[in-house]
Amino acid sequence: MGTYDLLFEKVLTRTDPERAHHASFRAIRAAGPALRAAHLAPRAGAGAVEVMGIRFPHRFGLAAGFDKNAVGIDALAALGFGHVEVGTVTALAQPGNPTPRLFRLTEDRAVLNRMGFNNDGAAAVAQRLAVRAEKLDRSGRRPELVLGVNIGKSKIVPEDDEAAVLADYGSSTRLLAPYADYLVVNVSSPNTPGLRTLQAVERLEPLLAHVRRTADAASPERRVPLVVKIAPDLADEDVLAVADLAMAQGLDGVIATNTTVRRDGLRTPAAEVEALGAGGISGAPVAVRSREVLRLLRERLDGPALVSVGGIDSPAEALARVQAGADLVQLYTAFVYGGPLLPRRIARRLVAFDAAR
């Protein structure tokens, strides 16, 4: 058993998961300079790939949800991530759902959450990103890291009021698109009431078109790639409908998948899971469906990039997703169980794969 495994078993599993997350993230941010000096990230250029017209240092990144407020981007990059997706950010600051709202399912190497898009709001995050950009400009340092910004609907906006939904996403887009290397429209979290109804093509089409127009107006000097993130719980025909829409609208990519509301096949006793309440499950239980959605999209998509996330917990699994057609791969939950050295191991495996091609 490694050092992190002991820490996880003896300390972290006895700590409230949300408190443990914040403490771990503070430690990563504080250790940022030392992490960069330790050269945990792969050597620059070794496994670089071009996806969505962007040069990624390698295919492996951190999914949205870990750094909701863009407070530790560069420290996370120093762990070995080639891209970091911040958010989900909403137009309005919101506290999220009542606590407790984050739970470990350790027997399943999974997490159940109902965070509810808790974040500081688009204006605060945009200001943070502006300060970061200014510091980078002054230093003359251009990091290889690619920055994704994931946006979602504010909870108070009724999902059946199309004009209000468009205005809400539009507000976030105007503020954040100028700082994003790519922009993600999140319509797939189960923890904002009604959000997943926006995945229906008739609802999704005008939303994506509005975000595209708004992003172009907010960043006229460059075209910000636009991506949509979908749930694993969509029926196969709905997955294919989203793929067709992505191609029809000229989207730059699809991220598959978000968390699942399904509870079948878990090792954790059903009564224990039921007692935890509502929320989306991430981690190992999502892997099978995530692979299925990857296959469906790869067979259908012609043009948009494909980002696979959900149950990626090892270098072997990350490589398998790439070999199955993913252009990029992301993790989150495995970071909790695998510890801070896992990103380096995965990144190096993918870099070796691409360098040998």
Residue range 195-235, pLDDT digits in tens: 788 878 888 999 999 999 999 999 999 999 999 999 999 99
Residue 67 marked as a ligand binder: yes
Residue 114 marked as a ligand binder: yes
Nearest Cα to Cα of residue 252 among 230, 219, 226, 229: 226
DSSP helix/strand/coil, 180: coil
| Candidates 154, 171, 172, 189; catalytic one | 189
Residue 153 marked as a ligand binder: no
pTM of the model: 0.94
Buried b (16+ CB within 10 A) or exposed e, 230-264: bbbbbeeeebbbbbebbeeeebbbbbbbbbbeeee
What are the tokens at 270?
Answer: 């059903």
Question: Who's near 305: CB < 8 A, 6+ residues apart?
Answer: 51, 52, 227, 252, 253, 254, 327, 328
The whole-angstrom separation of Cα 278 and Cα 101 is: 9
Residue 65 marked as a ligand binder: yes
**Confidence check: pLDDT of 146 > 70:** yes
Residue 155 marked as a ligand binder: no
At residue 48 the predicted structure's pLDDT band, cuts being 50, 70 and 90, is very high
Local structure of residue 179 (DSSP, 8 states): G
**Confidence check: pLDDT of 294 > 80:** yes
**Confidence check: pLDDT of 40 > 70:** no
Percentage above 90 pLDDT, the chain: 80
Amino acid at 206: P
What are the tokens at 145?
Answer: 């890291």
Buried b (16+ CB within 10 A) or exposed e, 121-160: bbbebbebbeebeeeeeeeeeebbbbbbbbbbbbbebebe
What are the tokens at 205?
Answer: 């089409």
Kindly state the average pLDDT of the residues 304-325.
97
Residue 5: predicted pLDDT: 63
Residue 117 marked as a ligand binder: yes
| Cβ proximity of 255 and 199 under 8 Å | no
Q: Give bridge partners of residue 55 from the DSSP assignment.
A: 50
| Cβ proximity of 310 and 256 under 8 Å | yes
The whole-angstrom separation of Cα 339 and Cα 342 is: 6
Residue 105: predicted pLDDT: 97
**Of 342 and 191, the one with more pLDDT:** 342
Question: Who's near 76: CB < 8 A, 6+ residues apart?
Answer: 28, 62, 66, 67, 84
Q: What mean pLDDT, rounded, does the chain reach?
A: 92
The whole-angstrom separation of Cα 53 and Cα 21 is: 33
**Confidence check: pLDDT of 163 > 70:** yes
Kindly state the average pLDDT of the residues 310-338.
96
Residue 64 marked as a ligand binder: yes
| Cβ proximity of 17 and 111 under 8 Å | yes
What are the tokens at 70?
Answer: 């863009």
Instruction: Decide if 189 is catalytic.
Output: yes
Residue 88 marked as a ligand binder: yes
Judged by average pLDDT, the poorest of 149-163, 195-209, 260-274 is: 195-209
Local structure of residue 348 (DSSP, 8 states): H
DSSP helix/strand/coil, 229: strand
Decide if domain 3-355 falls under CATH 3.20.20.70: yes
DSSP helix/strand/coil, 302: coil
How confident is the model over 51-94, as pLDDT tens digits?
Answer: 999 999 999 999 999 999 999 999 999 999 999 999 999 999 99
Residue 197: predicted pLDDT: 82
At residue 317 the predicted structure's pLDDT band, cuts being 50, 70 and 90, is very high
Percentage above 70 pLDDT, the chain: 94
